[in-house]
């Protein structure tokens, strides 16, 4: 999708469709909406005022109106914004996504929309523009690259890389010429944020026979503007990453530890390390998952996808006075004659021994060595890991929110606030000292899975905490729930969600709606 900006009146735009954001009640129509309503013979206000109104302007609700030649555009797409006093960034983003979805049904290629004055008043012109671009790009996403072109065309209008759309151009029409520069800035940032969210979605949605550890390595090595170092199996062994090596040894695909780095031109304000779990397929190992639980385990690298897409976005956005490192331990967890066995004892990179009583609790094993390596290599001011770590987090929070826990309330609250702005919910879970009892082993320093149905998410966090320096500001994001959507919403179609990309970028850049 390409964005254009022009000065003028939306009612005069001659494209295929106009998108009009609407607040409930005809009395709330702004000047742009009134002009279109008048041209259509009060059709818009009649829709809102009818006794059994077909359109109530609820958040994300859409209605397609033909113009019958009364306007230069062939259609007007109404999209509800909800009550003005409740108007937030997430509502505006979702409204735009819903409008784009409606435009896809029309199979139009060029659409125009304006920035509702209610939205600008609530968020400011640049933020409103950024969120518009986010919603539009997120709303156009569909994953169809593994379908034949004829089938993809039948299902989605047209086949295009990374889940394309027939919508090619969205023009933002604004009556005030002095706002165009701010609109353009906002659109550029929002487009890049959403495109990289979609890129993470694409990697999560694709199948594990395509997205292998070597594939992630290849993607990382091809990013301009980032330093990239890749540790192969021999380096992993030489550095004593016994926990990571143990998980990987059952697969024919070799493991890699990817290290990406963005450095600003000046002295950085701080140094942040992001660590993403990259299990490209999780069978459970010899603690084999049931068939129904295994089917979607291609998405167990969603944390790695989020970190990789975030670093790639930073390399394109630039303008960030923070040194950002990304660490991605990636491998498969497979059953074979070479697999680790329940009861095996392994030594992690920091010297602690681990009894592996459950080979399906593998994410914490690859992350613990990556966390140790990240701290030794770059000594970050802040350390954040993101992983589809525990089914217990899905039980606790469902598909709606990720769990967040760690050693620094300041860091956790900053990430939660960023998630709120980005439209991604995070809920803090505790790391009580009492949970350390879950890690007790009779034969090693730690056991990898000892919660036995109690506080499983926090138990996973407590395990990782054992590999974080005591004074380090660290946060752990368990995204097992929201990393995969089981139903459609305007901005998040069923499948991989790219959860975490927007939160991490909003946190790093400090954007506000």
* Cβ–Cβ < 8 Å for 435, 458: yes
Domain positions in the chain: 2-199, 206-509
Residues shown for the chain: 513
DSSP per-residue codes, 316-341: HH----SEEEEEEEEEEE--STTS--
Determine the Cα–Cα distance for residues 457 and 455; give it in Å rounded to an integer.
6
Distance CA 112, CA 441 (A): 63
Separation of alpha carbons 229 and 253, rounded Å: 19
CATH topology classification for 206-509: Aminopeptidase (3.40.630)
- pLDDT score at 52: 74
Mean model confidence pLDDT for the chain: 94
Rounded Cα–Cα distance for residues 429 and 403 (Å): 6
pLDDT tens, 150-159? 665 555 544 3
Q: How far apart are the first and last CA of the chain?
A: 23
Structure tokens at 228: 């990239």
Q: Are domains 2-199 and 206-509 of this chain identical in fold? A: no
Short-list 396, 408, 435, 424, CA closest to 489 = 424
Query: Helix axis angle, 180-205 relative to 501-509, nearest 10°?
Result: 140
Residues in a beta bridge with 331: 279
- Phi-psi label, residue 147: left if phi above 0, alpha if psi -120 to 50, beta otherwise: beta
Rounded distance, CA 195 to CA 156, Å?
18
User: Cα 434 vs. chain centroid, distance in angstroms?
Assistant: 33
What is the residue-wise DSSP string for 385-445? EEE---HHHHHHHTTTEEEEEES-HHHHHHHHHHHHHHT-EEEE----GGGGGGG--SSSS
Residues annotated as catalytic are 289, 364
User: What whole-number distance in Å separates Cα of residue 357 and Cα of residue 447?
Assistant: 7
Q: Which CATH number fits domain 2-199: 3.40.220.10, 3.50.30.50, 3.40.140.10, 3.40.50.20?
A: 3.40.220.10
**What is the model's pLDDT at position 152?**
56
Cβ within 8 Å of residue 233, ≥6 positions away:
245, 248, 254, 255
CA-closest candidate to residue 424, choices 494, 327, 498, 508: 498
Q: What is the DSSP string of 59-79?
A: TT-EEEEE-TTSSSSSEEEEE
What is the full DSSP assignment across 66-112? Answer: E-TTSSSSSEEEEEE---GGG--HHHHHHHHHHHHHHHHHHT-SEEE
**What is residue 165's three-state secondary structure?**
coil
Q: Give, for all 513 residues of the chain, the pLDDT tens digit.
A: 999 999 999 999 988 999 999 999 877 899 999 999 999 999 999 888 876 778 999 999 999 999 999 999 999 999 999 999 999 999 999 999 999 999 999 999 999 999 999 999 999 999 999 999 999 999 999 998 898 876 655 555 443 444 445 799 999 999 999 999 999 999 999 999 999 999 999 999 999 999 999 999 999 999 999 999 999 999 999 999 999 999 999 999 999 999 999 999 999 999 999 999 999 999 999 999 999 989 999 999 999 999 999 999 999 999 999 999 999 999 999 999 999 999 999 999 999 999 999 999 999 999 999 999 999 999 999 999 999 999 999 999 999 999 999 999 999 999 999 999 999 999 999 999 999 999 999 999 999 999 999 999 999 999 999 999 999 999 999 999 999 999 999 889 999 999 999 999 999 999 987
Residue pair 262/313 in contact (Cβ under 8 Å)? The answer is no
pLDDT digits (tens, 9 = 90+) for 359-409: 999 999 999 999 999 999 999 999 999 999 999 999 999 999 999 999 999
Closest CA to 464 of 341, 372, 329, 381: 372
pLDDT tens, residue by residue, 129-147: 999 999 999 999 999 889 8
Of 275, 52, 313, 291, which is closest to residue 192 (Cα–Cα)? 313
Residue among 113, 157, 152, 106 at smallest CA distance from 135 = 113
- Written as six digits, the tokens of 133 are 């671009």
Taking the CA atoms of the chain, what radius of gyration do you get in angstroms?
24
* pLDDT score, position 203: 98
DSSP secondary-structure letter at 287? S
């Amino acid at each position: 999708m390409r964005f254009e900006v022009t000065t003028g009146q939306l009612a005069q735009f001659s494209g295929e469709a106009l998108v009009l954001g609407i607040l409930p009640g005809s009395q709330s129509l702004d000047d742009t909406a009134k002009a279109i309503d008048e041209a259509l013979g009060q059709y818009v206000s009649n829709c809102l005022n009818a006794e059994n109104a077909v359109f109530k302007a609820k958040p994300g609700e859409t209605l397609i109106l033909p113009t019958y030649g009364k306007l230069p555009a062939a259609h007007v797409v109404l999209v509800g914004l909800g009550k003005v006093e409740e108007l937030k960034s997430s509502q505006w983003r979702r409204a735009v996504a819903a409008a784009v979805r409606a435009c896809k049904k029309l199979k139009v290629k060029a659409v125009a929309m304006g920035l509702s004055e209610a939205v600008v008043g609530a968020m400011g012109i640049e933020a409103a523009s950024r969120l518009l671009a986010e919603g539009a790009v997120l709303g156009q996403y569909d994953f169809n690259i593994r379908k034949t072109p004829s089938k993809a065309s039948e299902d989605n209008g047209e086949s295009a890389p990374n889940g394309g759309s027939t919508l090619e151009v969205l023009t933002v029409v604004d009556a005030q010429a002095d706002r165009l520069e701010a609109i353009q800035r906002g659109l550029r940032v929002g487009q890049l944020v959403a495109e990289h969210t979609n890129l993470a979605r694409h990697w999560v949605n694709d199948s594990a026979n395509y997205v292998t550890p070597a594939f992630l390595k290849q993607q990382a090595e091809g990013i301009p503007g980032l330093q990239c170092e890749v540790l192969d199996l021999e380096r992993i062994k030489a550095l004593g990453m016994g926990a990571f090596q143990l998980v990987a040894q059952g697969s024919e695909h070799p493991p890699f530890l990817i290290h990406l780095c963005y450095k600003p031109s000046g002295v950085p304000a701080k140094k942040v390390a992001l660590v993403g779990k990259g299990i490209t397929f999780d069978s459970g190992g010899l603690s084999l998952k049931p068939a129904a639980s295994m089917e979607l385990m291609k998405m167990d690298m969603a944390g790695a996808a989020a970190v990789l897409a975030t670093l790639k976005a930073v390399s394109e956005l630039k303008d960030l006075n923070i040194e950002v490192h990304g660490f991605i331990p990636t491998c498969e967890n497979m059953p074979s004659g070479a697999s680790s066995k329940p009861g095996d004892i392994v030594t992690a990179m920091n010297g602690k021994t681990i009894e592996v009583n459950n080979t399906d609790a593998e994410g914490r094993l690859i992350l613990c060595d990556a966390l140790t390596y990240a701290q030794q290599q770059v000594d970050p001011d802040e350390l954040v890991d993101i992983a589809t770590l525990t089914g217990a987090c899905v039980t606790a929070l469902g598909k709606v929110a990720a769990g967040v826990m760690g050693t620094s309330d300041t860091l956790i609250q900053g990430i939660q606030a960023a998630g709120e702005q980005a439209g991604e919910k995070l809920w803090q879970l505790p790391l009580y000292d009492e949970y350390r009892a879950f890690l007790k082993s009779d034969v090693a320093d730690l056991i990898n899975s000892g919660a036995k149905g109690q506080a499983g998410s926090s138990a996973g966090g407590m395990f990782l905490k054992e590999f974080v320096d005591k004074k380090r500001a660290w946060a752990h994001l368990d995204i097992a729930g929201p990393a995969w959507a089981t139903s459609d919403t305007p901005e998040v179609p069923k499948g991989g969600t790219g959860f975490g990309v927007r939160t991490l970028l909003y946190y790093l850049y400090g954007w506000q709606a």
